[in-house]
Structure 1
Amino acid sequence: MKILLHNLTRFGDLLQSQPALAELAGQGHRVAVACLENFAGAAALLPEAEVILPLPGSRFLAGLDGDWRQALAAMDGYVRHVKEVFDPDAAVNLTPALAARLLARRLCGEAVRGFSLDAHGFRHESSLWAAFLEASSAARGLSPFNVVDLFRKAAGVGLGPGRFALRRPEAPALEAARLALADRAPEGAAGYVGFQLGASATARQWPPDAFARLGEGLWQGLGVLPVLLGGPGEKALAAAYRETCRAPSADLVGATDLPALAATLCHLKLLVTNDTGTLHLAAGLGLPSLSIFLATAQPFDTGPYREGCLCLEPDMPCHPCPFGLPCPIGHACRRAIGPDTVLGAATTFLAGGGFPAGGYPGARAWLSGFDRAGFMDMTSLSGHGETARAVWLRLSRRVLRQFLDEEPLAPAGQERFALPAAVHDPLAEQLAQSADLLRLLAGHAGLAGRNPAMKDRFLATWERIRGLWTASPQLGAVGRLWQRDAQRAEPDLPSLIARIERYAALVAAFADRLTRR
């Protein structure tokens, strides 16, 4: 079968599609990739992609501002081109935006995994995993799954351990990168460490002067040369770094296209970075990283898909902060993790090849790895593994995996997850209320089949459940999934009641595994 994978979002997300592509190719399918044209260079790093089909999205949008008929004609031209070049039998669409759904439907009809539209033009997801991928995007701090694993499952694969491996640069590119670094290195430099200074928003950027103190410590202590990385828009950050740093550096900000960046990463000992696409590029090339997650970023869902990488996040009760709300404390998290904390971890890694367990002042430290099912996981190095958030994410990953796979929810047995009373007690009450409301909802559904007046009560109870879950610090992602899943049309009343009972089983599975400490 010929499968076209759509990922029409950011550079990092496109790279993180590779494990799904690898599994599709491993099943014997021929695979191609549709991406935005400005990320076609990133798509070239996906070794399983037989064909790259860049989409000129910005030109389509510009056309809509002028004459929508010409824009639609251009889209039809793109569809004809795809069919002439590859003619897919099915699509895997990992982008939930309406335009991406429409394109997938236009190309492959009902043969779409992930996000699509039904025959009447309503939103359609091929599985609960796809629905959860979209639902959790609005509550990232509550998602227990790395986005790579969500992509795999939404694509209809993810049946075993994931593996992230991008195409390595060829010898000429590697040699050019080696020479570019050597030209900028002082005599006696003992290797290179990359610094990715930028991020998608200022609130997610570790300050340039903190990077500068780190660079001084690595140069003075180990003779390791910092290599500044980033696009042309990050030149101001590089300038701020150089103004405050008293050690040499190799400034490549704005000087590398994507292939040159990939080749440069292959010559580094370590990448120190914010949560960026460069982090995922490094992971796919096998480069260890030390990443800093600030503001809304958190390592459990967007951390590097490679074992043995260190992820630091501020040890603050408000982290990760919710999307779309102003910070009431002036983004204090940007200063919570000091340069000495990062320097100690980086120095230990460069000296011995591993990150230490122990104290990380100002930070929660997590080491990336894989759990027994082959999903990405995080292990605490700083003693935060039994915090309420970490325990709840472990429990969620265990139970939600079975629920989203639509498998029977295994009995709890002796397995228990202990939460402090201040978290356990209100959560237990919410779960008890949820169980009562779901029983009531199932009864209303049965009565509504015979008495149309009961439909209002059914909808009111459904809304109470949605409100209860979306307002919960622990159940927010489930609440958004409930909202998405409720939009599916059930063929008959028994199917609707079975779905309500399935959520009741999920609530019971959470409650059965919780204990109070």
Structure 2
Amino acid sequence: MKRFLVTQLARLGDIVQAIPLLQGLKKVYPDCWVEVLVNKKFSEICTLMPWIDEVVTIDFPRVGQLLVGDTASLEKAYGYLKTFYSQLKARAFTRVFNITPHYLGVFSAMLSRNNQLDDQESSEWQVYFKSVTMQWNTLSFHMSDLYICIAGLEPSNEQVRLVIDKKSKQWADEFLRAYGLQGDEIIIAFHPGASTPHKQWPRDYFIRLGKKLLETQRIMIMLLGTEDASDLCHHFGNRCINATGKTTVAQLAALLQRTHVFVTNDTGPMHIAAACGTFVISIHMGKENCFTTGPRTLRGFTVQPALPCHPCQYPEHCTAQTCKKNIEPDLIYELILRSLNPHQYSNSTMLSMDKAVVYHAGHDPMGFWDFYPLTHKKLTIDDLMHRLLRYVWKHTLDYSCTTQNSTNIQAYVQKLGITLEHFYKKNDSLKIHCCELDRALQELSALCGQGMNVCKDIIRYAPSALRFHKCLQRLAEECEKIDNALATWKERMPILRPLINTFFTHKEESTGDDIEQLAQEAYRCYEQLHTRCGMLRALAKEYQRQSMQEVTKAALQTAFA
């Protein structure tokens, strides 16, 4: 029997986003045993996931006390961790999947594995994962899909659903009855909190939204989250249900199942609500981006500021907070009405997209999770690159950089073009940006070619290193110059950062014992980047070609009409 360990030591929402991975493992390996390693603080959510056979928890507060507490002892801390990971390692897992977005997960996964290197440890997807954790705005996939790819699984359209126990459902019924609810009332829930300030929509906006709803609609407002949010209750009078700080995770899920619309920041409860089938209106500000961490549900809207600086890499340094101000209460109010009365609206019913963009979820031509604008917006080079890069990563990380033939690329671009045409408006400047991208990719490819040639020379001279040490030193300096030239493109054309960051992350992962081995690994890094640049260039040129065909066809139809 195959035994798998999934290491997710991040927060509540990250664990919920692992459900498609867990579902996929059980579907591909029906008789497998799946264990998850999680932070003890967030372990309760795992009881709602029937795909998990055993939950292993690590007590970080205890480790912290052993390291820096009043009775700190390095020896005790080391002893605790050594015993913990020795017992974990003794379970002899077939595979260990690290999906923790920081190096603590890498550390844990290494200590949990058998000594024998498994193919997952050297996975190209793990290198990509490490790269994007340094700059989340370079991620081309939804996190749940990235987890699936790390495990070597295919994307699935299967809906994510938590399984809530009968006791928690009964508790929710009794809790709501205590507020006089009989079961047919419309409940709009608010979650004003979040783990960091930059993720929190202004409280004043929640108050304005709630008051407008109470004035115009026959609804009840329910407040969820920590007790810090309870002060909002007095703004809503006796039509407010205060559940802040009063629920377990299972009870929270049960209340969310009874909720008609959930208005929330990008938080763990947002993902729980999506997995309960609740209609979710999520607000993403600062560095939060619906394309990577939005709710995985077809029942909802996601809202983001229409700003060129979003998503922000360093929101804690921003004093303007424009992204918060741009998402106004009136917009969220309109979206709530749409969710309650969908037959009265259609996507063609215009919403103002000047300050914020509203998205709804769907799938891309490869089956990956995606978000599309509710009303047509101009297609930008970033919108296009986001989807083209998914194809590049999928076909170079999965298949060891085997070149895709033109027929496959044409078929993908054709499907992508049809999808984008349905949701986006044409942008005349896109052609210029595509030409600039083509020139940049040509230059990157040329630099990669130079790097490959330098590595070949190093490999040739390495066996006689003492004799050719000056020559090898000169070649190493040439290699450094090439890398510096590649690095400049991160600022010259930011949309290329995902490719370049992954190149450098992969290069830093080199483990060769001598000059020759290091040169061989560096050659492979240049070769991979060269392949990816070529594939991305082919995709962009094919998109331009098909777009021009459509323009010509439309012009001829107009001329002969």
Q: Calculate the TM-score normalised by the size of structure 1.
A: 0.89
Measure how far apart 1:496 and its partner are. Answer: 5.0
C-alpha distance in 1 between matches for 2:529 and 2:458: 19
C-alpha distance in 1 between matches for 2:116 and 2:299: 38
Check if 1:484 corresponds to 2:505: yes
In the TM superposition, 1:124-139 aligns within 5 A as: 125-139=121-135
C-alpha distance in 2 between matches for 1:252 and 1:112: 48
Structure 2 counterpart SS, 1:63: helix
Residue by residue, what CA displacement relative to the aligned partner does 1:181-217 show, whole Å, maximum 9, x if unpaired? 2322578973212111112222221112212222233
Does the C-alpha gap of structure 1 residues 154 and 426 become closer, same or farther in structure 2, counting only changes over 3 Å?
same
Which amino acid is the alignment partner of residue 25 of structure 2?
L
C-alpha distance in 1 between matches for 2:283 and 2:82: 43
C-alpha distance in 2 between matches for 1:267 and 1:404: 42
In the TM superposition, 1:289-300 aligns within 5 A as: 289-300=280-291
C-alpha distance in 1 between matches for 2:144 and 2:496: 22
Give 1:340's aligned residue.
Answer: 330
Query: Does structure 2 conserve the Cα–Cα contact (< 8 Å) formed by 1:90 and 1:111?
Result: no
Give 1:77's aligned residue.
Answer: 83
* Structure 2 residue corresponding to 1:452, chosen from 457, 469, 472: 472
* Structure 2 residue corresponding to 1:466, chosen from 467, 480, 487: 487
Query: Does structure 2 conserve the Cα–Cα contact (< 8 Å) formed by 1:185 and 1:249?
Result: no
Check if 1:45 corresponds to 2:35: no
Gaps of 5+ in 2: 418-426, 462-470, 548-561
Structure 2 counterpart SS, 1:480: helix
Gaps of 5+ in 1: 116-124
Residue by residue, what CA displacement relative to the aligned partner does 1:213-243 show, whole Å, maximum 9, x if unpaired? 22233333331211111023xx2x441x335
Measure how far apart 1:75 and its partner are. Answer: 1.3
Does the C-alpha gap of structure 1 residues 111 and 58 become closer, same or farther in structure 2, counting only changes over 3 Å?
farther
In the TM superposition, 1:46-65 aligns within 5 A as: 46-65=49-68
Give 2:540's aligned residue.
Answer: 514
C-alpha distance in 1 between matches for 2:178 and 2:107: 49
Of 260-269 and 105-114, deviating more is 105-114
Does the C-alpha gap of structure 1 residues 68 and 504 become closer, same or farther in structure 2, counting only changes over 3 Å?
same
C-alpha distance in 2 between matches for 1:393 and 1:247: 46
In the TM superposition, 1:211-290 aligns within 5 A as: 211-232=206-227, 235=228, 237-239=229-231, 241-245=232-236, 248-290=239-281
C-alpha distance in 2 between matches for 1:314 and 1:114: 41
Structure 2 counterpart SS, 1:75: helix
Which amino acid is the alignment partner of residue 480 of structure 2?
L
Check if 1:413 corresponds to 2:405: no
In the TM superposition, 1:326-405 aligns within 5 A as: 326-328=317-319, 330-352=320-342, 356-357=347-348, 358-361=350-353, 362-384=355-377, 386-405=379-398
Residue by residue, what CA displacement relative to the aligned partner does 1:303-332 show, whole Å, maximum 9, x if unpaired? 11122321110112221112366215x202
Of 32-41 and 375-384, deviating more is 375-384
Measure how far apart 1:477 and its partner are. Answer: 1.9
Measure how far apart 1:489 and its partner are. Answer: 4.1
Does the C-alpha gap of structure 1 residues 6 and 199 become closer, same or farther in structure 2, counting only changes over 3 Å?
same
Check if 1:435 corresponds to 2:430: no
Give 2:112's aligned residue.
Answer: 107
What is the number of residues matched between the two proteins?
501
Query: Does structure 1 conserve the Cα–Cα contact (< 8 Å) formed by 2:223 and 2:233?
Result: no
Of 92-101 and 286-295, deviating more is 92-101
Query: Does structure 2 conserve the Cα–Cα contact (< 8 Å) formed by 1:306 and 1:368?
Result: yes
Structure 2 counterpart SS, 1:184: coil
Of 96-105 and 284-293, deviating more is 96-105
Residue by residue, what CA displacement relative to the aligned partner does 1:424-474 show, whole Å, maximum 9, x if unpaired? 454333222211111111111111222423122123212321342366320
Query: Does structure 1 conserve the Cα–Cα contact (< 8 Å) formed by 2:451 and 2:482?
Result: yes
Structure with higher Rg: it is 2
Does the C-alpha gap of structure 1 residues 176 and 325 become closer, same or farther in structure 2, counting only changes over 3 Å?
closer
Does the C-alpha gap of structure 1 residues 113 and 307 become closer, same or farther in structure 2, counting only changes over 3 Å?
farther
Query: Does structure 2 conserve the Cα–Cα contact (< 8 Å) formed by 1:203 and 1:294?
Result: yes
Which has the larger share of helix? 2
Of 429-438 and 357-366, deviating more is 357-366
Give 1:122's aligned residue.
Answer: none
Measure how far apart 1:494 and its partner are. Answer: 6.3
C-alpha distance in 1 between matches for 2:56 and 2:162: 18
Does the C-alpha gap of structure 1 residues 80 and 432 become closer, same or farther in structure 2, counting only changes over 3 Å?
closer
Which amino acid is the alignment partner of residue 514 of structure 1?
A
Query: Does structure 1 conserve the Cα–Cα contact (< 8 Å) formed by 2:7 and 2:36?
Result: yes
Of 46-55 and 131-140, deviating more is 131-140
Query: Does structure 1 conserve the Cα–Cα contact (< 8 Å) formed by 2:185 and 2:219?
Result: yes
* Structure 2 residue corresponding to 1:153, chosen from 126, 149, 160: 149
C-alpha distance in 2 between matches for 1:20 and 1:61: 30
Does the C-alpha gap of structure 1 residues 492 and 340 become closer, same or farther in structure 2, counting only changes over 3 Å?
closer
Measure how far apart 1:145 and its partner are. Answer: 0.4
Q: Calculate the TM-score normalised by the size of structure 2.
A: 0.82
C-alpha distance in 1 between matches for 2:67 and 2:157: 40
Of 196-205 and 244-253, deviating more is 244-253
Which amino acid is the alignment partner of residue 448 of structure 2?
L
Which amino acid is the alignment partner of residue 333 of structure 1?
C
Q: Once superposed, what is the RMSD of the aligned Cα atoms?
A: 2.8
Measure how far apart 1:485 and its partner are. Answer: 1.1
Of 353-362 and 209-218, deviating more is 353-362
Structure 1 counterpart SS, 2:5: strand
Does the C-alpha gap of structure 1 residues 505 and 332 become closer, same or farther in structure 2, counting only changes over 3 Å?
same
Residue by residue, what CA displacement relative to the aligned partner does 1:371-411 show, whole Å, maximum 9, x if unpaired? 23221011111322613322221222222221222343343
Measure how far apart 1:61 and its partner are. Answer: 2.5
Structure 2 counterpart SS, 1:466: helix
Measure how far apart 1:342 and its partner are. Answer: 0.9
Give 1:190's aligned residue.
Answer: 185
Does the C-alpha gap of structure 1 residues 377 and 112 become closer, same or farther in structure 2, counting only changes over 3 Å?
farther
Which amino acid is the alignment partner of residue 168 of structure 1?
V
C-alpha distance in 1 between matches for 2:529 and 2:16: 34
Which amino acid is the alignment partner of residue 384 of structure 2?
V
Does the C-alpha gap of structure 1 residues 455 and 344 become closer, same or farther in structure 2, counting only changes over 3 Å?
same
C-alpha distance in 2 between matches for 1:284 and 1:253: 20
Of 177-186 and 268-277, deviating more is 177-186
Structure 1 counterpart SS, 2:239: coil
Measure how far apart 1:44 and its partner are. Answer: 1.6
Structure 2 counterpart SS, 1:48: coil
C-alpha distance in 1 between matches for 2:144 and 2:67: 33
Give 1:24's aligned residue.
Answer: 25
Does the C-alpha gap of structure 1 residues 431 and 62 become closer, same or farther in structure 2, counting only changes over 3 Å?
same
Of 283-292 and 176-185, deviating more is 176-185
C-alpha distance in 2 between matches for 1:37 and 1:342: 35
Does the C-alpha gap of structure 1 residues 19 and 457 become closer, same or farther in structure 2, counting only changes over 3 Å?
same
C-alpha distance in 1 between matches for 2:294 and 2:119: 22
Give 2:424's aligned residue.
Answer: none
